[in-house]
Amino acid sequence: MGSMEASTAPENGSAASGGAGGTACNGAGASSNGGGMERRLRSSAASASWAAHLPLEVGTRVMCRWRDQKLHPVKVIERRKGSASSSPADYEYYVHYTEFNRRLDEWVKLEQLDLDTVETDVDEKVEDKATSLKMTRHQKRKIDETHVEQGHEELDAASLREHEEFTKVKNITKIELGRYEIDTWYFSPFPPEYNDCPKLFFCEFCLNFMKRKEQLQRHMKKCDLKHPPGDEIYRSGTLSMFEVDGKKNKVYGQNLCYLAKLFLDHKTLYYDVDLFLFYVLCECDDRGCHMVGYFSKEKHSEESYNLACILTLPPYQRKGYGKFLIAFSYELSKKEGKVGTPERPLSDLGLLSYRGYWTRVLLEILKKHKGNISIKELSDMTAIKADDILSTLQSLDLIQYRKGQHVICADPKVLDRHLKAAGRGGLDVDVSKLIWTPYKEQG
The answer to whether 409 touches 398, Cβ cutoff 8 Å, is: yes
User: Quick one: 335 and 370 in the same domain?
Assistant: no
- Does some domain include residue 129? no
Bridge-partner residues for 62, per DSSP? Answer: 74
- Does some domain include residue 12? no
Number of domains in the chain: 3
User: Quick one: 184 and 316 in the same domain?
Assistant: yes
User: Quick one: 193 and 240 in the same domain?
Assistant: yes
User: Quick one: 331 and 372 in the same domain?
Assistant: no
User: Quick one: 188 and 316 in the same domain?
Assistant: yes
Q: Which domain holds residue 199?
A: 174-345
The single residue of 193, 232, 343, 377 carrying the catalytic annotation is 343
CA 179 to chain CA centroid, nearest Å:
21
- Does some domain include residue 201? yes
pLDDT digits (tens, 9 = 90+) for 227-240: 999 999 999 999 99
CA distances from 365 to 321, 373, 431 (A): 23, 10, 18
User: Quick one: 330 and 365 in the same domain?
Assistant: no
Q: Kindly indicate the confidence band of residue 421, based on its pLDDT and cuts at 50, 70 and 90.
A: confident
Q: What is the mean pLDDT of residues 232-261?
A: 96
User: Quick one: 287 and 233 in the same domain?
Assistant: yes
Asked if 164 is an active-site residue, the reply is no
pLDDT digits (tens, 9 = 90+) for 151-195: 444 445 555 555 466 567 888 999 999 999 999 999 999 999 998
User: Quick one: 303 and 367 in the same domain?
Assistant: no
Least confident of 203-217, 283-297, 346-360: 346-360
Amino acid 402: pLDDT = 76
- Does some domain include residue 359? yes
pLDDT digits (tens, 9 = 90+) for 314-332: 999 989 999 999 999 999 9
- Does some domain include residue 142? no
CATH number of the domain at 115, please. 2.30.30.140
Amino acid 82: pLDDT = 76
**What is the pTM assigned to this prediction?**
0.73
- Does some domain include residue 196? yes
Report the DSSP pairing between strands 305-307 and 341-342: parallel
User: Quick one: 253 and 218 in the same domain?
Assistant: yes
